[in-house]
Amino acid sequence: MSAHALGVEVSCDGPDESRDCPESAAVRARFASLTAAEVRADGRADGWVRPRRGGRLVDLCPACQPAP
């Protein structure tokens, strides 16, 4: 028997450091997306952003993005 990676899940880091995403959102990976970079590219196509927060990059769904 052999095991194969099925890919990765990228989930929303929430509107701020103290709160989780109210929608428990995760990027919907396309069938061919297996790496984190590919899944994040799928997310950008769906309106996700990857800003810095506290010195690190976070993943934010459209519902948790700060107002412009």
Q: DSSP letters of 1-68?
A: ----------B---SBTTB--TT--B----TT--SHHHHHHHHHHTT-B--EETTEE--B-GGGSPP-
Q: What pTM, to 2 d.p., does this model score? A: 0.81
Rounded distance between C-alpha atoms, residue 62 and residue 66, angstroms: 9
For the chain, domain boundaries:
1-68
Q: What is the pLDDT of residues 1-49, one digit of tens each?
A: 777 666 788 999 999 999 999 999 999 878 888 888 999 999 999 999 9
The residues, ordered by sequence, that sit 6+ positions from 66 with a Cβ below 8 Å of its Cβ are: 15, 51
